Amino acid sequence: MREIEYLQALHSNCITLPDGSLVNQSVPVVLPVTTPDKERLAGASAISLVYGGKTVAILRAPEFYPHRKQE
């Protein structure tokens, strides 16, 4: 989830798809990281998410932004 989508989900409980349609997204889907992880991963073109020793997802062009729990 990009930062603009995160903010839209926080404020409107929905996100706008590329075709302009709206989708209910009342719970933003984000992955918190520690400051050391952010510093280590900043600038990476892709990040693998690993669970149980297996890659379960690849984040392409990841973004790091403040976690605004309430705005």
DSSP string, 15-50: EE-TTS-EEE-SS-------HHHHHHHTT-SEEEEE
Residue 68 confidence class, pLDDT cut points 50, 70, 90: low
Model pLDDT for residues 5-45, shown as the tens digit of each residue:
888 888 888 989 889 999 998 887 788 889 999 999 999 99
Q: Is pLDDT larger for residue 64 or for residue 68?
A: 64
Domain residue spans in the chain?
Answer: 1-28, 31-63
Q: Is pLDDT larger for residue 19 or for residue 70?
A: 19
Residue 56 corresponds to which tokens in the numbers above?
């379960």
Residue 30 to residue 21: CA distance in whole angstroms: 21
Residue 12 corresponds to which tokens in the numbers above?
């409107």
Angle at 24 between CA 6 and CA 69, to 5 degrees: 30
